[in-house]
Structure 1
Amino acid sequence: MASILRKLFRRKKQPPLVCAVNLDAEGNPVGEHPDHVHTDACFISFEPLAVAELFQSQSCQSCPPALPGIHAATADPNVLLLTYPVTLFDHTGWKDTFSSLTNDARQRAYAKRWARTSLFTPQVVVNGVADGSGRTKEEIQQIIQQGRDIQKARDWHIYVDANDTEVRVDTDKQEAPPHEVSLVVYANTDQTVKVGKGVNKGKKINHRNVVTSVTKIGDWVGGNGTWFLPTPRSALAPDQGAAIIITEGGLGGPIIAAAKI
């Protein structure tokens, strides 16, 4: 398994041209043949899923102009955007309709870990290790790349997979500090809110993948492992999405692996 994981994570090839396979007299492939010519189509190129956590507020004057660009830049299938509306500006005349103290705690955990003395929105955090405001598409792309680079520098080969009832981790990392394995449930349809008061009065703010719950289902300390989901994936509503994230040291720590389920 370890050798397979190394191939998945390390083998980076250019786009495929052709992959030649000999045919028999009836036109059927004859399988692996001494004359078989390998091209990039024969190999797997694997880019781990990056998790982009967006902290936003309906009463943040900077959010409405920034959100469309953030949504566009994180539309890549290999990037999972998770939105955590916070109460940071609820006192300014309009209470965010999705905000929660739980989301506040998540944002503050990052600030504490990074020894910061202030909070801001919008804030995009990638893989729990890189962040910025996401004011431009270029900035978001830089944050995503930085988050990927820091994750890759660990040289840990971790593959997360899930079926309807359980989650499995396969890895060649046999020992690791405690990591939380969590199930994140979110609304997988966009939701638009028209702000009634405050600095954004009258503006329509789009929300994408708003997180509704984060549930710890176990701890990973290295090696392969399997954990049962609290409820079957099939029990979720059609407008709900779910993902597994593995976080070092719990809230505010680096996200070392993730998978949509």
Structure 2
Amino acid sequence: MKTIKILGLTTGFIITVLSLAAFIGRDKVTVKKSIAKADGKGFAVLELFTSEGCSSCPPAEELLAKIQQEARGKAVYLLAYHVDYWDRQGWKDLFSSADYSKRQVQYGHWLNAPEIYTPQVIVNGKAEYVGSDEPALRNAITEQLAIKPGATLTLQAQQDGEGLKVQYQATQVANGSSLLIAIVQKAAQSKVARGENAGRSLAHVQIVRKLQAKPLSADGNGNATVVLPKDFNAQNWEVLGLVQDQDTGEILAVAKAALNAN
């Protein structure tokens, strides 16, 4: 597990690698046996920060896949961001992006966390957990599903050549909130040749391939165009929208786009 000290946030993000030591000091909690039904109430957004270069990350990705299977039909939304700061340790992650490392550092500031690490999961923008801590994540999901949100979001998306046209409507959102549109590849396999996972074949789920932010207007309505990855296809990918309070980091609303073909 890699830990990163947060040094500061000015016009950009400054991070430095501290160690490869295991992250310790987490409180033990009692595990919930299953994910509760949403029942029209709350939602749970799990954002996993991971890397193919991190030997502690495959168990977290396996847990994410397990939750994905169990959460079908429930208001549980999963996103896996492959950070790029592991790319200097011998293996460049095909799905990594500096943008996802910056998002993780921003969460460090929102949550007043002295460090970030992989695998790390943020739940609804409000709390962070070790990504492989199944009891803690199950409890967090159950707790968030029981909280009725005040805001709502609806999305419609249509592919137009190499782009995606998105129409959205958000209600009851905080001033200064933004809409984040995530283009997500549902599954992929990678063979890792170097680094901590050398020789392993890794299975990934819910890989964020593109993340685009747009400030919300006062009425919460609008449209956006997102340039799609070249290998995008509607069958094996999905489009998620998140409304996020830019002052606190809290996810206020979430929706999966109804994707219409041309």
TM-score, normalised by the number of residues in structure 1 = 0.70
Q: Which residue of 2 aligns with 1:158?
A: 151
The yes-or-no answer on 1:61 pairing with 2:55 is: yes
Q: Which residue of 2 aligns with 1:185?
A: 183
Q: CA offsets, 1:110-169, max 9 Å, x none?
A: 1122232322111111111122113242222123234456xx3xx752221123451112
Within 1, Cα distance between the matches of 2:227 and 2:106? 30
Structure with max Cα Rg: 1
Q: Is the 8 A contact 1:55 1:84 kept in 2?
A: yes
The yes-or-no answer on 1:260 pairing with 2:235 is: no
The yes-or-no answer on 1:50 pairing with 2:44 is: yes
Q: How does 1:140-159 map to 2 (within 5 A)?
A: 140-148=137-145, 152=147, 157-159=150-152
Partner of 1:177, secondary structure, is: coil
Q: Which residue of 2 aligns with 1:83?
A: 80
Within 1, Cα distance between the matches of 2:110 and 2:150? 25
Within 2, Cα distance between the matches of 1:65 and 1:216? 30
Partner of 1:116, secondary structure, is: coil
Within 2, Cα distance between the matches of 1:227 and 1:168? 7
Moved over 3 A (4+): 145-149
Within 2, Cα distance between the matches of 1:248 and 1:108? 16
Backbone CA RMSD of aligned residues: 2.7
Q: Which residue of 1 aligns with 2:131?
A: 134
Within 2, Cα distance between the matches of 1:122 and 1:107? 11
Measure how far apart 1:220 and its partner are: 4.8
Unaligned runs of 5+ in 1: 1-14, 16-43
Q: Which residue of 1 aligns with 2:25?
A: none
Within 1, Cα distance between the matches of 2:131 and 2:77? 15
Partner of 2:53, secondary structure, is: coil
The yes-or-no answer on 1:226 pairing with 2:228 is: no
Q: Which residue of 2 aligns with 1:206?
A: 203
Within 2, Cα distance between the matches of 1:231 and 1:194? 29
Q: CA offsets, 1:67-98, max 9 Å, x none?
A: 21232124313211111001232222112121
Q: 1:121 aligns with which of 118, 123, 130?
A: 118
Within 1, Cα distance between the matches of 2:199 and 2:227? 40
Within 2, Cα distance between the matches of 1:71 and 1:47? 23
For 1:65, the aligned partner's letter is P
Within 2, Cα distance between the matches of 1:218 and 1:93? 37
Q: 2:96 aligns with which of 95, 99, 105?
A: 99
Q: Which has the higher strand share?
A: 2
CA change 1:132–1:194 in 2 (3 A) is same
Measure how far apart 1:231 and its partner are: 5.7
Q: Is the 8 A contact 1:48 1:257 kept in 2?
A: no
Q: Which residue of 2 aligns with 1:39?
A: none
Q: Is the 8 A contact 1:85 1:98 kept in 2?
A: yes
- Number of residue-to-residue matches in the alignment: 206
Q: Is the 8 A contact 2:49 2:118 kept in 1?
A: yes
For 2:167, the aligned partner's letter is E
Measure how far apart 1:244 and its partner are: 1.2
Within 2, Cα distance between the matches of 1:255 and 1:217? 14
